[in-house]
Structure 1
Amino acid sequence: MKIIELLSVPLLKEMKLIAGDSGKDREITTINMMDAPDIIPFLNQNEFLVTTAYHVKDHPDRLMELINAMANRGCAALGIKTKRFLQEVPKEALILANELSLPIIELPLDLSLGEIVNHTLRAILDHRAAEFSSALEVHKQFTRIIMQGKGINALLEKLSQMIQHPVHLADRHLMSIVEPYTELEISSLKNDLEKAMKNLALSSNPNLCFSMIKSKETHTLFPVNMSEKKIGFLIVDGAIPPKNHLAVLTIEQGINVLSFALMKDHALKQQQRSIRNDFFLHYLDGAFSAHDEIINRAKEFSLPNHAEYLCVVGKVDNDENDYHTYRQRQQKAENLFEFIEELIHRTIPNVHFFTKSETCILLFEMPNHQHDHVLRSLQERIITTFEQTISFGVSNLCHSFIQVLTAYQEAVEALSHGELSRKTSFIQHFRTKDVMELLRLVPEKEINHFYDYIFKGFSGIKPEEKESLLQTLSVYLETHCQISETAKRLFVHRNTVVYRIDKCEELLGKSLKDPEATLQLRIAFRIQKLLDSSFSL
């Protein structure tokens, strides 16, 4: 309780404040009697010291020393029984007490020090009991709100009414975590407040009060346990000094109930997330053989089969200068993925989030051309929040959930392709391989064997004739077997083309009207270009 409240206690109404009036709001938590001159080493913070002044009556300097020591140690007040050993408090002592804002109280003659101590202790206990009773009632009201299913928003509204200050609930990144989701003004101060918030979480009386330079508005932060490892913050618009016990107790009870509700919601979400993620990973691993089973299970998790999907696979970029352990890097990636999931849930509709090993998977349902902008925004937020970069591989559009497996493989391949180029913070789109890229995947021995087999009929003719025949055959196939167009491109007569084509059919032993034969020849000519480029290298 405060000094001013103690002076209003009926049994102590004869006590009179004679100095240090500006300190009348000091807190009293205990009371002590001065029965020896060496009391100074035993002084405690928020302590009300009462004395008959017997030990200082002939030594005013000791009284001055005592007043200085009490002010330095944060004592509540000094009570002196005058008109007994000390007729009146020295003027210089009163001046010093006023300067130090240390209240000096003149104690009544008709009460012994023992009675004053008893009455004061009883008043402190009664005051504390009243506070606890009020806190218990507040806790019941908050608990009732949650038990009745009214939700966290209703609890915050009730808390705001009780303390007469607007309140917000934010995560550890100072982002609102209740609807409507908004970016709080103070989120811009995250980097500046980060160290203070870490100390705040370890404090025995945790709250942080600060003012915005631009708006000149004051905010007070209180940590809220959201799970075993996650801490959020209750943000009060306005200053809540620790001396305002009623407001602090009310906020503490609100935080207790909020923590319970948030931890319960977190546990349920974690369970649902785990079940959903397990289904998706089993699907990617081919655990379901029947299409109907996949479609029905996906429908349970709001993943309709008849919808278009775009699959994106993200991975935290490796940092060569990162000397953290594997477990530390893994934890950092988990925190980052959790941040992405929360951000997507709050701001981006129709995006499903999953994790697999060291990657995260974003499944855009009914995507539009804005997905690149969304991914770029995520990269910027991650750099700002974690000072870390992340890269994404993007699949082609698929037209049903059954095709998502192929889309996932495309996204992984796109991500790997970007990593091979040693880029960071990239968005790599999957590109379908052309024939030349596919041919490069075939062993060189098999390529040479196929080429020699197709053109084996040309091995017994002169090199000059072979070159002219193959050139004519290549142009002929490129012009879709058009004689006139082939002659035009080669600058030869039409009959020359007819002759050369007939000669080619003779050497090949195949008709160029056979689609299979023309396909093999087209591939062989592609192989020729591949071999020529390899030889030149």
Structure 2
Amino acid sequence: MRITELLSVPLLKEMRLIAGESGKEREVHTINMMDAPDIIPFLNPNEFLVTTAYHIKDQPHRLIELIKAMSDQGCAALGIKTKRYLEAVPQEALDLANELSLPIIELPLELSLGEIVNYTLRAILDSRAAELSSAIESHKQFTNIIMQGKGIQVLLQELTKLIHRKVNLVDQHLIPLLQPYTKLEISIIKSDLEKEIKGFPLSNNTNITFSMIASKETYTLFPVNMSEKKIGFLLVVGAIPQEDHLTILTIEQAINVLSFTLMKEHALKQHARNIRNDFFLHFLDGAFSVHDEIINRAKEFSLQNERDYICVVGKMDNDENSYYTYTQRQQKADNLFEYMEDLIHPTISNVHVFTKSENCILLFEVHDQNVTPHQGHDHILRYIQEKIAVAFGHTVSFGVSNICHSFIQLRTAYQEAFEALSQGELAKKTGFIHTFRTKDIIELLRLIPEKEINSFYQYTFKGFSSIKQDEKESLLQTLSVYLETHCQISETAKRLFVHRNTVVYRIDKCEEILSKSLKDPETTLQLRIAFRMKKLLDSSFLHSLTKT
């Protein structure tokens, strides 16, 4: 309790403040009685020291030393019983107390020091008990709000009413966890706020108070545990003095309830994320063998089959200046991707986020058929890269697929995005966005039913079905490279690392099997189209049919 509150206690109403009035808001945590001249080594902060001045009545300079020592120790006040051993407090002592803002209280003659000590302790305990009782009621109130399903936003509204200050809840990256209902604009103060908390050792009982020039406001920041590894913040407008115990206790009760609620929500969200992620990874790995099963399972996660998608694969770039173990790198990637998901979902709709080892996978739903991957999503990916660079001091790169026209085709889109990412990594680039480039004919072939594509491919190369598998693969590989090099024997031999005579032999063998000349444009066109179809079949859902 403060000095002013102590002076208003009925049993102590005869006490009179005679000096140091500017320090009357000092906190009193305990009281001590001076019964020996060597009290100075035993002084404590926020202590109210009472004395009869018996030990200093003949040595006024000792009182000056005591006042200085009490000020240095942060004591609350000095109570002196006058008209007994000391007729009046020396003017020199009063002037010093005024200068140091250390209250000097004249104690009533009719009360003994023991009674003053007892009454003061009782008043302190009553004040603390009232604060704790109020804190318990606040905790019950906040808990009831959550138990009744009213949500965190209602809790914050109630907290605002109780402490008469605007509040908002943000995560560790200062992203609001819910739509603010007050006029507290995080974006205005975010850059300055990041500087304030950077490197600050946060703990459960630590808060930061600071002022912002941009908003011309003072803020107090309280850490809130969101999970085992994540800490958010309760941002309160206005300074909260440490002596304002009731407000601090009320905020602490709100933080306790918020922490449990956020931890529960995080666990549920993580569980749902794991289920969704497992389904998508199994889909990419070909674990499902029935179309309808895939389509129905995808619908459970708001993934419609008859919809256009763009697949993006992202990866944290390697840092040559730092060494991370596999576990450390995986943990860093998980934190980075979780931050990425928090960035995307509040502001961007129709984006699905998955993770696969050290890669993240973003599925963008495309509603405008005229939008290319670059036009539609490049600015979003750039935004993510900029935010990650600021938050983590690390770069991330993306590979982007072409548009696929159904969920079933996402395997092909994933391969395209992954290949685009790999091409950028091979070029030793960082912080890049690469879009997969295919020939226009591939896009046209995707419009043909897969069954028809398979039939065309089998018909074109039916003559190779009776040849041994090893020989078949070498002949088809040679034929493919030969056509890609515009029927150049030497270039084909160079790319395959074989003698040119070997190429001549294999090409002659292919013409014999096909019963067609490779000098015929129609024949080469058919073969080139069939090889393009083979790439689609290798990555398509019906690839298993080609093996039968």
Does the CA contact (< 8 Å) of 1:51 and 1:79 recur in 2? yes
Whether contact under 8 Å (1:314, 1:391) holds in the other structure is: yes
Question: What TM-score results when the alignment is normalised by the length of structure 2?
Answer: 0.81
Q: Judging changes above 3 Å, is the alpha-carbon distance between structure 1 residues 30 and 414 closer, same or farther for their aligned structure 2 residues?
A: same
1:378 equivalent in alignment to 2:384: yes
Kindly indicate whether the alpha-carbon contact (under 8 Å) linking 2:352 and 2:362 is maintained by their aligned counterparts in 1.
Answer: yes
**CA separation in 1, counterparts of 2:41 and 2:525?**
105
Q: Secondary structure at the match of 1:232?
A: strand
1:516 pairs with one of 502, 523, 530: 523
User: Cα deviation per residue 1:263-302 (whole Å; 9 max; x = unaligned)?
Assistant: 1111111111111111111111221111111111111111
AA partner of residue 195 (structure 2): D
SS in 2 for 1:55: helix
1:217 equivalent in structure 2: 217
**2:225 is the counterpart of 1:172:** no
Task: Say which SS state the counterpart of residue 228 (structure 1) adopts.
Answer: coil
Structure-2 separation of matches of 1:110 and 1:509 = 126
Report the AA paired with residue 415 of structure 2. Q
Instruction: Determine which of 395, 402, 413 is the counterpart of 1:389.
Output: 395
Distance 1:357 1:108, change over 3 A: same
1:137 paired residue number: 137
| Structure 2 counterpart of 1:265 | 265
After TM superposition, the structure 1 = structure 2 runs for residues 40-59 of structure 1, keeping only pairs within 5 Å, are 40-59=40-59
Report the TM-score, using the length of structure 1 for normalisation: 0.82
- Match of residue 120 from structure 1: 120
Give the root-mean-square deviation of aligned CA atoms.
2.7
Q: What is the CA-CA distance between 1:56 and the residue it aligns to? A: 1.1
Larger radius of gyration: 1
1:491-524 CA-partner distances (Å, limit 9, x unpaired): xxxxxxxxxxxxxxxxx9859779437756999x
Corresponding residue for residue 203 of structure 2: 202
Question: Is 1:15 matched up with 2:21?
Answer: no
Q: AA paired with 1:443? A: L
Work out whether 1:399 is the aligned partner of 2:411.
no
Q: Shift of the alpha carbon at 1:432?
A: 2.5
Aligned pair partner of 1:184 in 177, 187, 199 = 187
Deviation at 1:347, TM superposition (A): 1.1
Displacement of 1:454 in angstroms is 4.5
Counterpart AA for 1:374: I
In the alignment, which residue of structure 1 is the partner of 2:306? Answer: 306
Q: CA, structure 1 residues 423+512, in 2 after alignment: closer, same or farther (shift >3 Å)?
A: closer
- Structure 1: tracts of 5 or more residues without a match: 457-507, 524-537
- Correspondence list, 1:24-173, <5 A: 24-173=24-173
Shift, 1:202, TM fit: 2.7
Cα deviations by residue, 1:248-271 (Å, 9 ceiling, x for unpaired): 111111111111211111111111
Q: Unpaired runs of 5+ in structure 2?
A: 442-479, 486-491, 510-514, 531-548
* Cα distance in 1, alignment partners of residues 360 and 305 from structure 2: 21
Q: Deviations over 1:103-139 (max 9, x none)?
A: 1111111111111111101000001111111111111
How far, CA to CA, are the matches of 1:172 and 1:157 in structure 2? 21
CA 1:406–1:93: 2 relative to 1, 3 Å: same
Tell me how far apart the structure 2 counterparts of residues 517 and 315 of structure 1 sit (CA, whole Å).
40
Q: Residues 312-323 of structure 1 correspond to what in structure 2 (within 5 A)?
A: 312-323=312-323
1: distance between equivalents of 2:80 and 2:484? 98
Percent pairwise identity: 65
- Aligned-partner residue type, residue 154 of structure 2: A
Q: In 1, distance between residues paired with 2:517 and 2:287?
A: 47
Correspondence 1:428-467 to 2 at 5 A: 428-432=434-438, 443-445=496-498, 449-452=502-505, 454=507
CA contact (8 A) 1:454 1:521 kept: no
Conserved in 1, the CA contact under 8 Å of 2:219 and 2:237?
Answer: yes
Residue 230 of structure 1: how far off its partner (Å): 0.8
How far does the alpha carbon of each residue in 1:285-340 deviate from its partner, in whole angstroms, 9 at most, with x for none? 22111111111111111111111111100001111111344433332222111110
CA distance in structure 2 between the aligned counterparts of 1:9 and 1:522, rounded to whole angstroms:
97
Check the 8 A contact 2:188/2:214 in 1, yes or no.
no
User: Deviation per CA, 1:372-408, whole angstroms, max 9, x where unpaired?
Assistant: 1111111111112222110000111111111111111
Partners in 2 of 1:174 and 1:344 — Cα distance? 14
Q: After TM superposition, give the deviation of residue 183 of structure 1 in Å.
A: 4.6
Cα distance in 1, alignment partners of residues 434 and 143 from structure 2: 50
